[in-house]
Amino acid sequence: MKRRAETPASGRKMMSLVETTAWESMEFKNIPIISEVDVSPLLKLFKDKPVLDLQPFMKLYKNNTVERLQHPSYVPPSSHPETEVQSKDIVIAPETGVCARLYIPDWTNPDHKLPLLVYFHGGGFITGSAFYKNYHDYLNSIVAAANVVAVSVNYRLAPENPLPIAYDDSWDVIKWVASHSKGCGDEEWLNQYVDFERVFYAGDSSGGNIAHNMAMRVGSGELDGAIAIAKPVGIVLIHPYFWGKKPIGKHEPRHNKNSTAIKNLWLVASKMGIGLNDPRVNPLEDPRLSSLGCTRVLVCIAELDWLRDRGWYYAKALRESGWGGKVEVLEAKGENHVFHLRNSTSDNVVAMLKRVVSFINDEDEI
């Protein structure tokens, strides 16, 4: 198999120039700390207070101001010094600013096609970025360990761009990816290196929610025609953000500030336009769940996560729906929500990465 370092120098130079130019021109890579949005549809959530506090993500003020509270560092695409994974940024829809970061492993060969992972970042639909350092590092780890090509999706955020915009942006990326399935798309990394019969979707938190909903769109037949070959084999849902009107399980917070915060996150992201029992946030209420457009599912949950029970019940509902695939739940003991983004060397992070890698490479049966 050919090593990437053997790629002709002229080709690598051109890629480097494209990466730099794309990165510098991406004004939308930086999420605004302070912005303005019409909060009138959300006024009943304020309950006569001047501020709607959505810790740890943001605060909304009645004067139509949005203040984001998280300020992670952004990093440009790179040749990773440890894994030698290559990355670059691609603008997919200039009219909306939807873009993605692409990754290829150190070892590639056009004659030996690799699986493709389409990844959706988390952040409650209101923050997060494919360009955050923690996501860049995590994707580098997956690509190196699994020897896959990856597309990390950067969709528009609510409340400035309320749901279902994040779903539609993500679907545009899915269709763009699928347009390469015959080897004649506009991105050579996908044309040359991807086996489109081994496509996977993955995401954490709200990104896990998006991954599920993209697979539901595939199952409904929206990815049709010549590009249907790019439908996913499986999906990986890491601490997926699902919710509903009624609490379930033993660990889910009930009628307190924690449950209110989780509920309000969805209502703010959709600007009150999508209810809490909508199948997109509560798949337990989806009569079409059996049409999920893949054959394998891995649900990763964390013992101390408020969303833990939703992951368990999702897997149970999927098994009982008549869907014909296989689903597995992997639980990390003593861990909280998205722990894998905070400590990359812990035993549980290493174990989860190993399971995700084996799932993608189909190294064992579920």
Tokens of 85: 């994974």
217: enclosing H helix or E strand: helix 206-219
The beta-strand segments (E) located in the chain are: 34-36, 51-54, 58-61, 65-68, 86-93, 98-104, 114-120, 149-154, 194-204, 234-238, 296-302, 326-332
Task: Fill in the amino acid letter for 350.
Answer: V
* Residues designated catalytic: 205, 305, 337
What is the sign, positive or negative, of the torsion defined by CA atoms of 101, 105, 110, 111? negative
Q: Judge residue 289's burial from the number of C-beta atoms within 10 Å of its C-beta, 0-12 exposed, 13-18 middle, 19 or more buried.
A: buried
186 in Cβ contact with 90 (< 8 Å)? no
Angle at 313 between CA 146 and CA 302, to 5 degrees: 50
d(CA 173, CA 211): 12
Q: Report the alpha-carbon distance of residue 39 to residue 44 in Å, rounded.
A: 10
Q: Are 67 and 61 spatial neighbours (Cβ–Cβ below 8 Å)?
A: yes
The pair of three-digit structure tokens given for residue 236, joined into one six-digit string: 């990986």
